[in-house]
């Protein structure tokens, strides 16, 4: 599979083209000095537009994570303090505008960790053969750690009790015996734990697992300090924010966006592989923990560069897999290196996405003829016997509104998959029927009444799901 290196190469080329512009300006100045009358030449601003675009793509995941953190941390409704879990108590609500395409297969718990000064310890209980997927992301959306690889079968049959320490960079103390060490280069870490749900009757067992999950700074974990006087559990809910984190970031002008970057960089330094990106930010007047000082007379270039950056963040790079109207991430997801374009697009479309071994999330909005999906129609997705989703865990398909929320209907939480009473045809193939009108067919997936989208989730996918050798089948209108 071809890897997209357009974004990092573009950043580097902008850096070197900036030097070329400076040489050209110097030559113009020399010619002006030899002329009998001074020549007034306006300073070019094209380089500013290009570098704003590149820097927006580079820093978008960091700003998005910062906005999401600020919305989730606190003591208000749907919030929790640092190093404290928020537990969902039920399947996601219908019509939740700030939680796009929520899974109906799992009940989620999440927390923001602050590792400043000392490690933070996360303890997970034995899940007793229930599928559990836990992952931790740094502020650049790289996956730092996830529960044991599905290749070992651990997630598929549940996880054993385990304890992990998220350790700040440069810390050299001792950890308790049996605690796995994970080094962290950013102060804040996003932890997400998803527990497989088998429906409403299953919630009591899931809540029991949630109560056994623990987070504590090292000194509290060892008993050297007392824990803060806080509730043991915070129920998850819609955080009191004005829209989703991505919509909040999209509403920022150039000053607002790069002010966020400057404020976040001290606690989230880029990897050592990003020197040119930092140099370009410095060209624009963006330095860690300092007020942004843009070049003068460049308001038009700043606005144009910001618009171009938004477009690039929302445009799939060439190494996103596509087939039959579906799109999904391949092998490079979760650990991006200098592939800034893929990293930004993944953060925008599937915030919190794991690695290729964690999950595949294929999305579709068009049928096999290229028309938008609409619940007034009837569609069939036909899986040949040897083309069912390749998973070690399980898979499902869920329908959402075009905005990504669950439809406001009694069937909103219905998904079709291999753990939902899936029925096969005589030859072993599977047909999934999608429509807003209830059908007397096997494997009926209810859809919203108007325009909608489909999400196919593969939990603990096999390599075929991300190396390009497998693809979801087309969505055929009947």
Domain match, 371 and 405 both: yes
- Which residue has 């899986």 as its token pair? 383
Q: Both tokens of residue 377?
A: 């129609």
Of 284, 313, 342, the position where a domain reaches its end is 313
pLDDT surpasses 80 at 34: no
295 and 429 together in one domain: no
**What is the C-alpha to C-alpha distance for residues 149 and 183, in angstroms, rounded to an integer?**
18
Tokens 């537009």, located at residue: 49
User: In a 3-state reduction of DSSP, which class is residue 96?
Assistant: coil
CATH for 280:
1.10.3360
At 378 the pLDDT is 97
State the burial class of residue 36 (Cβ atoms within 10 Å of its Cβ: 0-12, 13-18, 19+): exposed
**Banded pLDDT at 46 (limits 50, 70, 90):** confident
- What is the per-residue pLDDT across 157-208, written as a single tens digit (0 to 9) for each? 789 999 999 999 999 999 999 999 999 999 999 999 999 998 767 889 999 9
Domain final residue pick, 313, 329, 355: 313
**pLDDT for position 160:** 92
Q: What is the pLDDT averaged over residues 380-408?
A: 94
E strand or H helix that includes residue 70: helix 46-72
Same domain, 287 and 228: no
pLDDT in tens, 89-126: 888 877 655 568 999 999 999 999 999 999 999 999 99
Confidence of residue 28 (pLDDT cuts 50, 70, 90): very low
Q: Is residue 228, in this structure, part of any structural domain at all? A: yes
> Are residues 348 and 368 located together in one domain of the fold?
yes
In percent, the amount of the chain with pLDDT more than 70 equals 85
Q: Identify the pLDDT of residue 421.
A: 85
The residues with which 234 forms a beta bridge, in sequence order, are 86
Which pairs from 166-171 meet CB under 8 Å and 24+ separation? Answer: 166/113, 166/115, 166/119, 166/120, 166/121, 166/122, 166/136, 167/115, 167/119, 168/115, 168/116, 168/117, 168/118, 168/119, 171/118, 171/119
CATH code for the domain of 107: 2.60.40.1610
Number of domains in the chain: 3
Structure confidence by residue, pLDDT tens digits, 292-337: 999 998 999 999 999 999 999 999 999 999 999 999 999 999 999 9
What would the mean pLDDT of 41-50 be, rounded to a whole number?
Answer: 72
Average pLDDT (61-67) is 98
**Same domain, yes or no: 326 and 467:** yes
pLDDT at 239: 54
Does residue 1 form part of some domain? Answer: no
Match 């004005």 to its residue by tokens: 242
Asked if the model's pLDDT at residue 43 lies above 90, the reply is no
- 345-373 pLDDT, tens digit per residue, is 999 999 999 999 999 999 999 999 999 99
Task: Give the CATH number for residue 399.
Answer: 2.60.120.600
What is the pLDDT, as a whole number, of residue 18? Answer: 43
Q: Tell whether the model's pLDDT for residue 14 goes beyond 60.
A: no
Q: How confident is the model at residue 5 (pLDDT cuts 50, 70, 90)?
A: very low
Residue 74 lies in a domain: no
In a domain, 374, yes or no: yes
Q: Which of 178, 209, 238 is the last residue of a domain?
A: 238
User: 93 and 61, same structural domain?
Assistant: no
Q: Which domain holds residue 100?
A: 80-238
Q: Is the pLDDT of residue 154 over 80?
A: no
Confirm whether 167 is domain-assigned.
Answer: yes
Count how many Cα atoms sit within 13 Å of the Cα of residue 214 in the half-sphere of its side chain. 16
- Span 467-476, average pLDDT: 96
Q: Tell whether 17 and 88 lie within a shared domain.
A: no
Is the Cβ–Cβ distance between 240 and 78 less than 8 Å? yes
Shared domain check, 371 and 258: no
Which of 139-153, 320-334, 385-399 comes out lowest in average pLDDT? 139-153
Asked if residue 333 belongs to a domain, the reply is yes
pLDDT computed for residue 30 by the predictor: 32
| Three-state DSSP class for residue 111 | strand
Is 414 in the same domain as 303?
A: no
Is the distance from CB of 455 to CB of 101 less than 8 angstroms?
yes
* Cβ pair 127, 319 in contact under 8 A: no
The predicted structure's pLDDT at residue 380: 98
Gap between the Cα atoms of 433 and 458, Å rounded: 19
299 shares a domain with 224: no
Q: To the nearest whole number, what is the mean pLDDT of the chain?
A: 87
> Is 196 within a domain?
yes
- What is d(CA 63, CA 258) in angstroms, rounded to the nearest whole number? 9
Average pLDDT over residues 260-270: 95
First to last CA, the chain: 33
- What pLDDT score does 228 carry? 82
The confidence score (pLDDT) of residue 201 equals: 78
* 75 located within any domain: no
| 225 and 117 fall within a common domain | yes
Do 328 and 309 reside in the same domain of the chain?
no
């Amino acid at each position: 599979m071809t890897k997209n290196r357009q974004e990092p190469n573009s950043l580097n080329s902008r850096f070197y083209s900036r030097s070329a512009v400076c040489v050209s300006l110097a030559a113009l100045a020399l010619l002006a000095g030899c002329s009998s009358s001074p020549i007034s030449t306006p300073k070019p601003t094209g380089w500013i537009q290009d570098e704003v675009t590149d820097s927006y793509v580079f820093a978008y995941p960091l700003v998005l994570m910062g906005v999401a953190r600020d919305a989730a941390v606190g003591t208000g409704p749907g919030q929790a303090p640092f190093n404290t879990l928020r537990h969902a108590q039920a399947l996601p609500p219908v019509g939740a505008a700030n939680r796009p395409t929520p899974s109906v297969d799992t009940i989620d718990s999440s927390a923001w960790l602050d590792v400043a000064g000392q490690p933070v310890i996360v303890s997970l209980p034995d899940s007793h053969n229930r599928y559990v997927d836990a992952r931790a992301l740094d502020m650049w959306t790289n996956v730092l750690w996830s529960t044991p690889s599905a290749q070992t079968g651990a997630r598929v049959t549940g996880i054993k009790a385990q304890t992990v320490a998220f350790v700040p960079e440069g810390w050299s103390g001792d950890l308790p015996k049996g605690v796995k060490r994970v080094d962290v280069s950013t102060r804040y870490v996003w932890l997400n734990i998803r527990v497989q749900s088998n429906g409403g009757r299953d919630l009591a067992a899931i809540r029991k697992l949630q109560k056994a999950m623990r987070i504590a700074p090292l000194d509290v974990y060892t008993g050297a300090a007392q824990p803060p006087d806080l509730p043991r559990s915070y129920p998850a809910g819609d955080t009191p924010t004005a829209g989703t984190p991505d919509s909040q970031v999209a509403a920022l002008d150039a000053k607002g966006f790069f002010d966020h970057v400057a404020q976040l960089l001290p606690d989230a330094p880029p990897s050592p592989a990003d020197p040119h990106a930092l140099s370009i930010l410095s060209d624009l007047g963006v330095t860690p923990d300092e007020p942004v000082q843009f070049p003068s007379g460049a308001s038009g270039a700043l606005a144009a560069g910001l618009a171009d950056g938004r477009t690039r963040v929302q445009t799939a790079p060439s190494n996103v897999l596509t087939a039959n109207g579906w799109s999904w991430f391949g092998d490079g997801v979760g650990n991006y290196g200098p592939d800034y374009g893929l990293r930004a697009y993944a953060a925008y479309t599937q915030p919190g996405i794991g690695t290729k071994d964690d999950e595949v999330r294929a999305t579709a909005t068009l049928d096999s003829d290229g028309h938008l999906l609409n619940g007034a129609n009837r569609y069939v997705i036909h899986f040949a016997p040897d083309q069912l989703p390749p998973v070690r865990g399980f898979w499902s398909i869920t329908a959402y509104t075009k905005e990504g929320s669950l439809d406001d209907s009694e069937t909103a939480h219905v998904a079709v998959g291999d753990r939902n009473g899936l029925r096969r045809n005589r030859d072993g193939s599977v047909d999934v029927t999608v429509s807003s009108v209830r059908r007397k067919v096997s494997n009926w997936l209810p859809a919203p009444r108007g325009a909608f989208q489909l999400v196919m989730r593969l939990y603990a996918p096999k390599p075929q799901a991300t190396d390009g050798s497998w693809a979801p089948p087309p969505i055929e209108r009947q």
